[in-house]
Structures are given as structure tokens and as C-alpha cells.
Amino acid sequence: MNKIGIGLIVAGCVLTGCRVEERNLVQVAKQMDASVNAHDAAGFTAMLANDVAAKGPDGTMHNGKDSVGAWMTTMLPGFHVDSRGWQQSGDTVIWMSTVRSDVFARMGVNPIKTNTMAVFTGEKLQYFHAALDRETTGKMIFVQFYADVVNGGNIDAIDKYITEDIIEHAPVPPGFPKGREGVKAYFKMIRAAFPDLHGTPSLILADGDYVLISATWEGTNKGKFMGKPGSNKPMSWTVADVVRLENGKAAEHWGWDDMSERMAESRK
């Protein structure tokens, strides 16, 4: 083709607005949502590149098609996602989602909200990252607090979750230190009294920097607690906490429980 012919084609494109069509990856992302909402694990996995990498809302990494497919399969019971605000730039699509799953329900945080990013190679998912929004992040801090401190008994881990000068609005035992050291003293005391202590959150709500946790605690009263000798009986009681977060740590705390009533009942 001579130069005149090439020039005519270019000029025609300028005049008519012809261009190379950008792949509509928003539709691909929507199809991913449709597959998981239909609990179609095979359909979702078929959309993955062999070397796909995915970072979950909890920060865990999953690498490779089989690993990412298996991870999503564990989320499918009770799963439903409502997404909105899709934006595409090149091979990347970002959007926001509200996600429900039995996995999150067992944590007490159902639903969660995420800001999601997906990178595609062709129409296959190459990289996926679901980052928690601010309020869901606050909820998840205390899911992990329960795992590490309440159930795990790791007193040193309290440093990760509580500010040094936390303000305590709930009544505290006489002689307890203030701030974070008081929180540590409390958990040392209750762990000595209930060595098998286990807490199960039933509801975690967040509003801005405030998080509310309602939970059931249980354990066997083997040691002295609040001046009373151990009864060697199993106990269960209800706990409700409200915390105000600063930079991801609890800076203020309000709390209530019915432990005294349940202890009195267990000694009858």
C-alpha cells in the first residue's frame, strides 16, 4: 500500500472516530460475581489464570489456580455478593462490594464490605485483592483479638490491640493498674480462674471508630476469681463491649457482663 492509501485510512479513522476497542472487563468481573452467587465453583475457577494470585480480606495470600479456587469454595456456603461502582482502567477493574458468607457469620461480622481490585490477562483473572473498608477493618481487629487473646490466652498480644493509655469506663477490681496494664492484669486473672476460657462473638457492629461486640464466654471455674474459690463447674456468661479505636487500637472501652449472676447460679 502506498503512502497516499495509508494517509487516507488514517484520515478516515480521525474523521469517523474509529479506534481499537478496549475489552469490557467490567462484564468479566460481573460474571465472576454471578458465578460465586450461583455457588458455581467450577465456573469461577475456569475464569482464573493458572498463575493467579489472590489476597483475601483477612490478608492471606493464595497463589495458583487450584489454591484460589479452593479458597473461594470454602466461602461459598451462604455466599452472596452485591457489587457496585465498577471502573476499568486498562487491564484493571476496581469496584466496591458487600459480601455475605457463612464463614463471616460464624465470626459475627456478616456482612463485610470490601474495596476490590482485579487485574486481568486477556479475560482470565491474574490478580485479585479485596481490601476491607474502614468499619469492617474495625470489626476484624476484634475477631483477631478474640483469636489471640480471649481464646488463645496470649497476654503479650494485647499490645497489638490496646493503646497504652486506654480509658476504661467499666468498673475495675480494686488495685488494678490503669491503661493497658490493667487489661493485661484482667486477662491474667480470668485465665487463672478459667484456664479453658473461650469466647464466641455473636454480633460485631461498627460505626465510624466505634465497634460493638456481643459474645458468649464460657469456661470451667478451676481457680479463684474475684475473691471466690474455684467451683470446678462449667460456666457460660454474656459479654458486651464497646470500644473506640484510634489508629487501629482500642483507646476507650465500655463493658457489661452478667458473670456475677451466672457465678451465683453455678454455686447453688
Instruction: Kindly write down the DSSP assignment for every residue of 195-217, as one continuous string.
Output: TT-EEEEEEEEEETTEEEEEEEE
Instruction: Tell me the sheet residues that pair with 200.
Output: 216
**How is the chain split into domains, by residue range?**
20-132, 136-266
pLDDT of residue 16: 47
pLDDT at 235 over 60: yes
Query: With contact defined as beta carbons under 8 Å apart, do 93 and 120 qualify?
Result: yes
Query: With contact defined as beta carbons under 8 Å apart, do 57 and 140 qualify?
Result: yes
Give the three cell numbers for residue 82. Answer: 452485591
- Give 59's pLDDT tier (boundaries 50, 70, 90): confident
Sheet holding 234-246, edge to edge: 162-168, 249-257, 234-246, 210-220, 198-207
Q: Tell me the average pLDDT across 147-175.
A: 93
- Give 110's pLDDT tier (boundaries 50, 70, 90): confident
User: What is the CATH T-level fold of the domain 136-266, as seen in this structure?
Assistant: Nuclear Transport Factor 2; Chain: A, (3.10.450)
Give the count of beta carbons closer than 10 Å to the beta carbon of residue 164: 10
pLDDT of residue 134: 86
Q: Select 20-132's CATH number: 3.10.450.50, 3.40.50.720, 3.10.50.40, 3.40.50.620.
A: 3.10.450.50
pLDDT at 13 over 50: no
Tens digit of each residue's pLDDT (9 = 90 or more) over 28-49 = 999 999 999 999 999 999 999 9
Give one word for 117, left, alpha or beta, with left for phi > 0 and alpha for psi -120 to 50: beta
Query: With contact defined as beta carbons under 8 Å apart, do 186 and 150 qualify?
Result: no
Q: What is the DSSP letter of 60?
A: -
